[in-house]
Amino acid sequence: VSREGIFVNRSLALEKIKCFGFDMDYTLAMYKSPDYEELAFALLLEHLVAIGYPPEILYDPTFPTRGLVFDALYGNLLKVDSHGNLLVCAHGFRFLKGAEILHYYPNKFIQRDDMKRFHILNTLFNLTEAHLYACLVDFFTNCSRYVNCDTGYKHGNLFMSFRSMFQDVREAMDHVHLSGCLKEKTLENLEKYVVKDPRVPLLLSRMKEVGKVFLATNSDYTYTDAIMSYLFDFSNEDKADVPRRPWRSYFDLIVVDTRKPLFFAEGTVLRQVDTDTGKLRIGTYTGPLQHCAVYSGGSSDVVCDLLGVKGKDILYMGDHIFGDILKSKKRQGWRTFLVVPELARELQVWTEKSGEQCWAGDADFTMHLDSGSSERPDISSIKRRIQKVTHEMDMCYGKMGSLFRCGSRQTLFANQLMRYADLYAASFINFLYYPFSYLFRAPPVLMAHESTVEHSHRDSGDAGTALPPWLAQHGDPHQQVGGRSAGAEGHGHPAMLTPLGSCAH
């Protein structure tokens, strides 16, 4: 069930949405994992080998997780929370332990705004990149020809810094995307690389009945046309007599070459695409919206103008937390839907492993102490147990753990998802299971002080129970319903001791 669910960070009444916007790559067009990643990895490696890297590196699909940070100074892959506190730290495929981590990061903290050093790998395209860093670091670290240094490797007169390795990989990435070789290979074998799902045209035709639908992709028209034709081509298979409906007819507006995130700021010139030749027409289109016309460039403002809608009327669906979601929300006030393919697997693990229970801590015990007390209960054994359970849980998700958390602590990715995506799901196709009158309702987020209040009208109810008040609070089934209650045990009765758990250090 959950796999078909859509999850809510901020309430959204679907009937108020006048316009559905889509990114293409990894949103409408879901690439098949790990085939597509393997293809990208192979092309990247080919380019790197061409500039002198060792060809021995192999693709191992189990390692990477999205949302990691690459430290170009020390070559580590870091999992961090939204404040820059380190959660996990890996050097190649080896995980660093406490003392090692303190050697590189004395405060277990990174200043994320040092953009020349720390690089966030948030997109699905970054997955392969993250993996490559791990593979390269692993290879050189274990290769006897190279001497390991803090900031790179030495080999005779050569010094290969992690920074130069980073630059090489980034340039290889650019090459693979700009040269078109990845797109070419993908188009050569669409069945292998792209998921085809008859529900896509079904859902889009329903959406077009209740509102406007647009596509805004950074890809060029030729690639877009090939991918979309493949995705929407079902007529021949099922009913030979039904005329094939062209993919462009599912959209009110199609914009390619959007150059998001620039698209959400000043944008570029809007051109019309000649759909016969795939070439751009010179000049900016200024007329009214034309049926089935395709445009290149433009900006989010232009989209609103052409479609006659305001930012809040639009629900935009994309997979890129920064380029699609954060920017459309922050700059334009659009409603946002983040596609997170990993959710399917994450939900499975969470459900099987009983999620929260694995790290939710242990029994609290109460002592009547205040700041004048000197007793210090020993909690080390409990702590060790929690750490063990947390680690076991993490390993179920993969070597780097969950995309969203490390034990009880959330990742930067999870934090950004919660801040900027109004809705999220493993796929946009899940909308198929909701009526267009649906109200996606986020339970009110309770602040710590709000969730711990004893409401006067309940006081009488609890009286007489043998429970201490802080337990009684939780006994009330009305209390926490739908509320994110922070700090329930966080303070409770102020003179209550909860000496353990998943402390933030």
Q: Which residues are known to be catalytic?
A: 23, 25
| Strand-pair partners of 424 | 7, 338
Task: Classify 119 as helix, strand or coil.
Answer: strand
Residue type at position 42 = A
To 5 degrees, how large is the angle CA 32–CA 38–CA 42? 145
Q: How far apart are CA 184 and CA 272, in angstroms?
A: 24
Answer for the pair 413, 403: CB distance below 8 angstroms, yes or no: yes
Q: How would you class 285 by CB atoms within 10 Å of its CB: exposed for 0-12, middle for 13-18, buried for 19 or more?
A: buried
Is 476 a known ligand-binding residue? no
Answer for the pair 48, 349: CB distance below 8 angstroms, yes or no: no
Min dist CB 122 to a copy of itself, Å, is: 17
Beta strands per DSSP E along 287-334: 294-297, 314-318
Min dist CB 239 to a copy of itself, Å, is: 19
For the sheet containing 86-91, what is the strand order?
94-95, 86-91, 76-80, 68-71, 118-121
Answer for the pair 248, 292: CB distance below 8 angstroms, yes or no: yes
- Beta-carbon contacts of residue 254 (< 8 Å; ≥ 6 apart): 214, 215, 224, 248, 292, 293, 294, 295
Q: For a copy of itself, which is the closer residue by CB, 251 or 431?
A: 431
Q: For a copy of itself, which is the closer residue by CB, 62 or 164?
A: 164
Per CB under 8 A, contacts with a copy of itself among 203-262 are: 203, 206-207
Is 276 a known ligand-binding residue? no
The tokens describing 43, both together, are 């092309």
Interface segment toward a copy of itself; rule CB under 8 A; list 25-33, 217-225, 230-238, 474-482: 474-482
Is 25 a known ligand-binding residue? yes
| N-to-C CA span, the chain | 36
Q: For a copy of itself, which is the closer residue by CB, 236 or 460?
A: 460
Q: For a copy of itself, which is the closer residue by CB, 42 or 418?
A: 418
Min dist CB 126 to a copy of itself, Å, is: 21
Per CB under 8 A, contacts with a copy of itself among 421-450 are: 422, 424, 430-450
Q: For a copy of itself, which is the closer residue by CB, 190 or 471?
A: 471
Per CB under 8 A, contacts with a copy of itself among 369-408 are: 369-373, 375-377, 379, 404, 408
Q: Which residue has the tokens 């711990």?
A: 452
Of residues 99, 144, 156, 380, which one binds a copy of itself by CB under 8 A? Answer: 156
Q: How far apart are CA 411 and CA 80, in angstroms?
A: 6
Contact between 52 and a copy of itself by CB under 8 A: the answer reads yes
Per CB under 8 A, contacts with a copy of itself among 64-123 are: 82-85, 106-109, 111, 113
Per CB under 8 A, contacts with a copy of itself among 285-324 are: 285-288, 310-312
Contact between 11 and a copy of itself by CB under 8 A: the answer reads yes
Contact between 184 and a copy of itself by CB under 8 A: the answer reads no
Contact between 456 and a copy of itself by CB under 8 A: the answer reads yes
Interface segment toward a copy of itself; rule CB under 8 A; list 23-31, 118-126, 245-253, 344-352: 344-352
Contact between 457 and a copy of itself by CB under 8 A: the answer reads yes
The tokens describing 216, both together, are 């805004």
Of residues 60, 355, 396, 398, which one binds a copy of itself by CB under 8 A? Answer: 355
Contact between 345 and a copy of itself by CB under 8 A: the answer reads no
Residue type at position 55 = P
Contact between 453 and a copy of itself by CB under 8 A: the answer reads yes
- Beta-carbon contacts of residue 376 (< 8 Å; ≥ 6 apart): none
Interface segment toward a copy of itself; rule CB under 8 A; list 56-64, 89-97, 158-166, 225-233: 158-166
Contact between 489 and a copy of itself by CB under 8 A: the answer reads yes
